[in-house]
Amino acid sequence: MPPQRETSRTWGGRFTRATAPDALAFTASIGFDIRLYPYDIRVSIAHARMLAACGIISARDRDRIVAGLRAIEKEIESGRFRPQLADEDIHMAIERRLVEKIGAVGAKLHAARSRNDQVATDARLFVKDAIDAIDAAIARLQSTLLDVAERDGEAVLPGYTHLQRAQPILLGHHLLAYYDMLERDRERLADCRRRTDVLPLGCGALAGTTLPIDRRMLAKELGFKRIAENSIDAISDRDFIAELLAALAIVFTHISRLASDITLWATSEFGFVVLDDAYSTGSSMMPQKKNPDIAELVRGKSGRVFGDLLALLTVLKGLPLAYNSDLQEDKEALFDAVDTTKASLEALAALVG
């Protein structure tokens, strides 16, 4: 049986047949972009306030929309509202639920915006928060390295070139080399955050809107320092994600080297360190073993983050302007790289400490 007529979707006006179930399953992003719901709610509240300030909707409609959005946020947090595959993405899921809760006035929220500028704004807010969290995790690892250097830094050990013993060095000197690497990582992340701090909301699908909106009010409300000047670039740009993933790949280049040092130092052949039992594993067959699994996994997970970067660059490299559905592929790489980096930094700090 062919799909039946479907006109309930925001974009469904010209269509006479519903999306085929297999096509919907393939194109929907709700399975992963639901993670953006706090940002989408925040963006929508700011948008509703701006629409009212510009006289596009009434103050009464604004208040109903904002109250409805706050209620939906609580429903998602508590698990009482579960988006459906038919929603396609988190933006439409929230708008659909808003109309269910407050009626047709909820549809007014979509005035003067597109999912294109909406998702670009959500993603930038996510990236800014992710950078802050990763910067804090790097700082904790740096602090741990300093603590070990202060406690045991006078210990003398061989320094190596070509993995051959070269000159005697102090443990503290060796550990602080990683401190400096991590400091450069923090500088790169700070630069990336500065370039991310640009508001795309108000750019619409690609060429703005004829409605009299106030983008500077949106920027202030959402905490962006600048507004995007070129709407086509703002919609199609994912440089900020690519730059973050590149910075995280370099973080992993550094912490993977630290993990490799720890793995070598814990061997019987080197014998420079003894790993805490709480952060080691053993063997089901060889009871004498103490395995440096955390260090090995940090080293191994570098491949995931390198892969996330390469995947995104491959998506972006041949796209014509402006928006294309290919850009939907940015989020899983982004989420995976951020999660993997935070978890690895925290695990490595615990191991080193």
Q: What is d(CA 60, CA 52) in angstroms, rounded to the nearest whole number?
A: 9
**DSSP β-bridge partners for residue 167:** 159
Q: What is d(CA 81, CA 99) in angstroms, rounded to the nearest whole number?
A: 14
162 is catalytic: yes
Three-state secondary-structure class, residue 347:
helix
58 is catalytic: no
AA identity, residue 70: R
Give the domain 116-352 fold. Answer: Fumarase C; Chain A, domain 2 (1.20.200)
Which residues, 6+ apart, have CB-to-CB distance to 93 below 8 Å? Answer: 30, 34, 83, 84, 87
- Burial of residue 293 (CB within 10 Å: 0-12, 13-18, 19+) is middle
Q: What is d(CA 353, CA 346) in angstroms, rounded to the nearest whole number?
A: 11
> Which residue is catalytic, options 78, 162, 268, 284?
162
* One pLDDT digit (tens) per residue for the chain, 353 residues: 344 444 456 666 677 788 898 999 999 999 999 999 999 999 999 999 999 999 999 999 999 999 999 999 999 999 999 999 999 999 999 999 999 999 999 999 999 999 999 999 999 999 999 999 999 999 999 999 999 999 999 999 999 999 999 999 999 999 999 999 999 999 999 999 999 999 999 999 999 999 999 999 999 999 999 999 999 999 999 999 999 999 999 999 999 999 999 999 999 999 999 999 999 998 889 988 899 999 999 999 999 999 999 999 999 999 999 999 999 999 999 999 999 999 999 999 999 99
Q: Confirm if 236 and 208 have CB atoms less than 8 A apart.
A: no
Q: Confirm if 305 and 248 have CB atoms less than 8 A apart.
A: yes
Domain parsing of the chain, residue ranges: 21-111, 116-352
pTM: 0.94
> Which residue is catalytic, options 8, 58, 143, 283?
283
For the record, the structure tokens of 1 come out as 């049986």
Please report which residue ranges of 103-238 form alpha helices under DSSP H: 115-152, 171-196, 215-222, 231-236
Give domain 21-111's CATH architecture: Orthogonal Bundle (1.10)
